[in-house]
Amino acid sequence: MIYRQTVGAHSFVFDTLRDLLAKATPPRSGDRLAGIAAATAEQMIAARMALADLPLTQFLQETVIPYEDDEVTRLIVDSHDAVAFAAVSSLTVGGLRDWLLSDAATPAVLQKLATGITPEMAAAVSKLMRNQDLILVAKKCQVTTRFRNTIGLRGHMSARLQPNHPFDDARGIAAAILDGLMLGSGDACIGINPASDDPAVLGSLVWLLDDVITRLQIPTQSCVLTHVTTTIDLIGQGFPVDLVFQSIAGTEAANSSFGIDLALLREAHAAGLSLKRGNIGNNVMYFETGQGSALSANAHHGVDQQTCEARAYAVARAFDPLLVNSVVGFIGPEYLYDGKEIIRAGLEDHFCGKLLGLPLGVDVCYTNHAEADQDDMDNLLTLLAAAGVTFIMGVPGADDIMLNYQSTSFHDALYVRDLFNLKRAPEFDAWLVRSGLAGADGRLTAQDGLLPELAARLIA
């Protein structure tokens, strides 16, 4: 379908829904790199005006990637909940924005709506929203998941303890875990990005995390973030795997570049469930995404990177994950050039994921060659905490020495928890109190006396 919009003396034509969405997107380097961004601010505004008047039903009639060419499109179309969609089916994209910001869109109503919203609808409405709109609506979306603790409760924010080491050294990893636990991080999970892809090394890391959690009786879950096929093999060999991890994207071709498809993810999900290691829930999957992944694989089909990102959330949603996070600034300035673009993208990702019913966290991060700094990350972290982000990363010193990028530290989690009076997962908070790491009010205590004992138990 061709879309037309007049602004002043100029008339603009957008050849397809895909083109309209791309031209309506706030400026970012990835779309400029792909050659699909609006050429002028006037063209971008014209696209947004046309998009605002577009009925939501059009997204059910016109796909951005053909149904027959892409299994993610087929997943989106075939799993769409028409009953849930009925509540907003009469609205335009602009009308959806107004409704989401109204008192009618309560947390309970938004929870029921989630399966009726397609990723393209979520991406479209986000393009019409200011940052404050993205924050306000995301704050109203509550998504709760469980494995060994409860993640996503209102007034709570979790942190993944990320003890990466460039040589996968067990003592170095254990020291980072000790640092994180004593600063109250780790309730989302204790998750290692391994430097090696050697199954023997990966298996030893799985055992290491299981040993730490078992010995200290921590109500959390572990994850070694390796390829899903390796995790399936480890499960088959009897390793104590908690969460099954995989990076995912929003097109079949991009997922193929990762060496995965939906059938493989179904196999992995079944393998994770078969272990029955969760004691209060069975959300066993952990997914990571990031704007620009489809473009970097030359697998974007001319779709803007933010819409591709939202489509990745449809993949995640199909597997009831415990955790999903956008690694928002990790790919580099070719996709998100500076702090302004990273901040906007992080708020968009969080909004779209929450609206689609996912436990969306954000790795608030940037690479050293991006036009960004830690002040930009402080700004995004604060805005996301205000928006009710499910979890963030906890990296020693905010500097990941294995992946070579800048993220958020254990102290950053303390900052936003104190600022917004946010709690950790309740089971994890109770463990901190039992362990003497926190007082009855949940605030961390002086820990000098505990340090030798914990160090001996973790690093020996």
Range 197-206 average pLDDT? 97
pLDDT attached to residue 8: 85
Q: What is the pLDDT of residues 245-277, one digit of tens each?
A: 999 999 999 999 999 999 999 999 999 999 999
pLDDT tens string 29-53: 999 999 999 999 999 999 999 999 9
Which pLDDT score is estimated for 456? Answer: 65
Say what the pLDDT of residue 161 is: 98
Mean pLDDT of 188-216: 96
Contact partners, residue 370, CB within 8 Å, separation at least 6:
329, 332, 333, 336, 337, 338, 339, 342
- Its pTM stands at 0.96
Cβ neighbours of residue 448 closer than 8 Å, sequence gap 6 or more: none
Q: Which pLDDT value is given to residue 136?
A: 98
- Using CB atoms within 10 Å of the CB of residue 389, give its burial: 0 to 12 exposed, 13 to 18 middle, 19+ buried: buried
Predicted confidence (pLDDT) per residue in 369-397, tens digit = 999 999 999 999 999 999 999 999 999 99
**Where do the H-state alpha helices sit in 318-395?**
339-355, 374-386
The predicted structure's pLDDT at residue 51: 98
Residue 452 is predicted with a pLDDT of 61
Please give, one letter per residue, the 3-state secondary structure of 164-202.
CCCCCCHHHHHHHHHHHHHCCCCCCEEEECCCCCCHHHH
Q: Is the pLDDT of residue 99 over 70?
A: yes
Strand ranges inside 57-168, DSSP E: 145-146, 150-151, 158-161
- Local confidence band at 440 (pLDDT 50, 70, 90 cut-offs): confident
Q: Residue 368's CB: how many other CB atoms inside 10 A?
A: 11
Q: What does the pLDDT read at residue 451? A: 58
Taken in order 78, 84, 85, 89, the sign of the CA dihedral is positive
Dihedral sign of CA atoms 13, 17, 19, 24 in order: positive
**Predicted pLDDT at 316:** 98
Give the distance from CA 342 to its chain's centroid. Answer: 14
Q: Is the confidence at residue 449, as pLDDT, over 60?
A: no
- Please say whether the dihedral angle defined by the alpha carbons of residues 455, 224, 250 and 354, taken in this order, is positive or negative: negative
Non-local (6+) Cβ contacts of 343 within 8 A are: 131, 376, 379, 380, 383
With cut-offs at 50, 70 and 90, classify the pLDDT of residue 206: very high
Please compute the mean of the pLDDT values over residues 397-425 and round it to a whole number.
Answer: 95
122: confidence class by pLDDT, cuts 50, 70, 90: very high
Give the pLDDT confidence score for residue 455 in this predicted structure: 65
- Measure the CA–CA gap between 92 and 250, rounded to whole angstroms: 24
User: Could you tell me which residues come within 8 angstroms of residue 189 by beta carbon, excluding any fewer than 6 positions away?
Assistant: 160, 161, 220, 221, 222, 223, 242, 243, 286, 322, 323
pLDDT given at position 204: 97
Q: What is the pLDDT of residues 136-163, one digit of tens each?
A: 999 999 999 999 999 999 999 999 999 9
Return all residues near 9 (Cβ < 8 A) that are at least 6 apart.
none
The whole-chain average pLDDT of the chain stands at 96
- Distance, in Å, from the CA atom of 421 to the CA atom of 414, rounded to the nearest integer, reads 10
Provide the token pair at 45: 């505004």
**Which pLDDT does position 205 carry in this prediction?**
98
Could you read off the pLDDT of 306-338 as tens digits, one per residue?
999 999 999 999 999 999 999 999 999 999 999
pLDDT number for residue 308: 98
